[in-house]
Amino acid sequence: MLAAGEGKRFRSARPKVLHELCGKPLLAYALEAAAPLRAERTVVIVGRGADDVAEAAGGLTRRPLEFALQARQLGTADAARMAGEALGRFDGDVLIIPADVPLLEVPTLRRLVARHRRARAAATVLTAVVADPTGYGRIVRDAAGLVSRIVEHGDATPAERAIPEVNSSVWVFDRAALRAALTKVGRGNRQREFYLTDVVEILRDKGETVEALAAAEATEILGVNSRSQLARAGALLRARINERWMAAGVTIVHPALTYIDAGVRIGRDTVVHPLTFLSGATRIGSGCEIGPAARLRDSVVAGGARVVFSVLDRARVGPGANVGPYAYLRPGARLDRGAKAGTFVEIKGSTVGRGSKVPHLSYVGDALIGPGVNVGAGTITCNYDGERKHRTVVGAGAFIGSDTMLVAPVKVGRGAYTGAGSAITRDVPAGALAVERAEQRNVRGWAARRAAKAQTGPGQGSGPRASNKSARGRTGGARRPAKKST
């Protein structure tokens, strides 16, 4: 696998092959396409960002990998030479896959290897006829229709540039033939690089067989060399992922506006509405309603749940639970069966028990809320004292009055109530009512007295602001009636 390239056209601080596509680095797609072929050995050529690329590759497959360092990026033939050194005395077929062709599919690779073996070829190259061949190497065929050489875009004549059949950079070689041919590759081209494509002409000159297999779908060989091509490949991969889920019984209302990462799983009869982003290891059960406008990352949603206009990050939503609109479930948020996190509710590191409801305008952090609890609008767990986080525990069936401040660490017992607007700083025993607020004072007749005062004029008032106004009032009497009406 060729993954050493500089990725110049990406203009990135990161190696190209580590840029992500539908939640996985580019490199992952090549590794996954190759894995089912069970190669005896897999050598990854690393160069640019070698350590990072090697580390990432190791974490992406269970198959054993070997790494070969290409210290200077002198071209694809030079990379193949490094692979050859790593292979040592290996004798057999060598499959070469570039790490920047993410749409490649397993059956195509199998067909390529089969074609190579049936033809007893020295080399077999995967090609495709594409609408826009710009940037690719062109497949030049002789009068008999056999591949005679490959010319890179930069070195091609106008006539050659008109050839729509291009090189995918996926190859099968006979090891001995490849090794011999590589010694003859020079760098007499526009880019001053050692081109693996030159091997074709070298082998043909020796009278060896060079085969070509055209991919059924031209998009399959799309090479990602720029951010623009990354976006194109992303769109194609997303379409493929969406098709797969629709075939598996998931309704996707508007596929072009639905963004599902490769690692996501969705149960049947779930409806995914537009502007939904499902990423990482997100798992959605069956019969759910997700979106519109939902962003779920590494989250688990059980069957029959609804998530509308909300953001979930490493959260768990139980069966039949309801999220949103406008909820934010942060890492460690967990809603049990039938629970609810409603409008403008943020939950972090907390469990909301079975059937419990947090319907409006709340922050719940580091809390354990039992089953059957109602958390009134505006309730806040005051979990942070500026240094440490503290826990709040609310027992089963408790009723938290609106705008309760639960100053953690604090416990509200089973079936207890808190009065609206209370700042609860001490534990509430089970079944008790806790009210913490100044007693209400009703000042009778106050409104009428206020109105009367306004009538006699602000000059009667006291305090700096009032006297200020009266001073202005004296000089500009015409303003007075206007003031009264406001």
Q: Which residues bind ligand UD1 (CB under 6 A)?
A: 2-5, 45, 47, 70, 73-76, 78-79, 98-101, 136-137, 150, 152, 166-169, 195-197, 223, 225
- Nearer to ligand UD1 by Cβ, of 100 and 346: the residue is 100
State the minimum distance, in angstroms, from the CB of residue 274 to ligand UD1. 33
In 3D space, the residue among 66, 69, 72, 73 whose CA is nearest the CA of residue 87 turns out to be: 66
- Nearer to Mg ion by Cβ, of 73 and 470: the residue is 73
State the minimum distance, in angstroms, from the CB of residue 189 to ligand UD1. 8
State the minimum distance, in angstroms, from the CB of residue 104 to Mg ion. 12
Cβ-proximal residue to ligand UD1, closest one? 137
Upstream peptide bond of 359 is cis (omega within 30 degrees of 0): no
Q: Give φ, ψ of 22 to 5 degrees.
A: 50, 40
Cβ-proximal residue to Mg ion, closest one? 223
The entry of Mg ion, ligand UD1, none that residue 2 binds, CB within 5 to 8 Å by partner kind: ligand UD1
- Separation between Cα atoms, residue 98 and residue 52, nearest integer Å: 17
- Nearer to Mg ion by Cβ, of 156 and 394: the residue is 156
The entry of Mg ion, ligand UD1, none that residue 108 binds, CB within 5 to 8 Å by partner kind: none
The entry of Mg ion, ligand UD1, none that residue 137 binds, CB within 5 to 8 Å by partner kind: ligand UD1
State the minimum distance, in angstroms, from the CB of residue 221 to ligand UD1. 7
For residue 194, how many other CB atoms are within 10 A of its CB?
A: 19
Element housing 83 (H / E): helix 76-87
- Nearer to Mg ion by Cβ, of 223 and 338: the residue is 223
Q: Which stretches of 366-436 are assigned E, i.e. beta strand?
A: 367-369, 374-375, 380-382, 392-394, 399-400, 405-407, 410-412, 417-418, 423-424, 433-434
Q: Which of 19, 153, 254, 360 is catalytic?
A: 360
- Nearer to ligand UD1 by Cβ, of 45 and 369: the residue is 45
In 3D space, the residue among 173, 165, 178, 159 whose CA is nearest the CA of residue 221 turns out to be: 165
Upstream peptide bond of 98 is cis (omega within 30 degrees of 0): no
Query: Left if phi > 0, otherwise alpha if psi is -120 to 50, otherwise beta: which for 275?
Result: left
The entry of ligand UD1, Mg ion, none that residue 358 binds, CB within 5 to 8 Å by partner kind: none
Residues near Mg ion (CB under 5 A) = 100, 223, 225
State the minimum distance, in angstroms, from the CB of residue 205 to ligand UD1. 18
The entry of ligand UD1, Mg ion, none that residue 94 binds, CB within 5 to 8 Å by partner kind: none
DSSP β-ladder status, 327-329 and 340-348: parallel
Which residue bears the tokens 């609810």? 340
The entry of ligand UD1, Mg ion, none that residue 80 binds, CB within 5 to 8 Å by partner kind: none
Q: Apex CA 259: angle with CA 358 and CA 218, to 5°? A: 170
The entry of Mg ion, ligand UD1, none that residue 353 binds, CB within 5 to 8 Å by partner kind: none
State the minimum distance, in angstroms, from the CB of residue 46 to ligand UD1. 8
Are 112 and 214 in contact by the 8 Å Cβ rule? The answer is no
- Nearer to ligand UD1 by Cβ, of 191 and 251: the residue is 191
- Separation between Cα atoms, residue 298 and residue 319, nearest integer Å: 17
- 360 part of the active site: yes
- Nearer to ligand UD1 by Cβ, of 73 and 286: the residue is 73
CA distances from 463 to 104, 421, 448, 467 (A): 80, 32, 21, 6
- Nearer to ligand UD1 by Cβ, of 76 and 362: the residue is 76
The entry of Mg ion, ligand UD1, none that residue 197 binds, CB within 5 to 8 Å by partner kind: ligand UD1
87, HSE (Cβ side, Cα atoms, 13 Å): 26
SS3 403: coil
Round the CA-based radius of gyration of the chain to a whole number and report it.
Answer: 34
- Separation between Cα atoms, residue 148 and residue 39, nearest integer Å: 28
Give catalytic residue positions: 360
